[in-house]
Amino acid sequence: MAEGAGLQEALNLVVSLNLIKVIIELDSERIVTAVKKKIFPRNRWGRIAENCARFLDRHYEASITWVKRDGNAAAHHLARW
């Protein structure tokens, strides 16, 4: 749930800063897979993932990708903090 909410907030930031070419990296393979394949569970994070997928469909220069947690130690430490 937190990963989905984090993605949604990142996309809100993209809009508020009027960014165009954006790559968002997540360490939640489950969220990234759901958004990219458009297969959403019928629960709260599934609805959030669906909204994020719709956003990415409209903003074709924005994308998400999965990275291993140790691939971005700074983000992981910030999230834990």
- Asked if pLDDT for residue 38 goes beyond 80, the answer is yes
State the Cα–Cα distance between residues 64 and 36, nearest whole angstrom.
8
Region 25-42 average pLDDT: 91
Per-domain boundaries in the chain: 12-67
In this prediction, residue 77 carries a pLDDT of 74
pLDDT band for position 23 (cuts 50, 70, 90): very high
- pTM for this one? 0.78
Residue 2: pLDDT over 90: no
Distance CA 34, CA 2 (A): 15
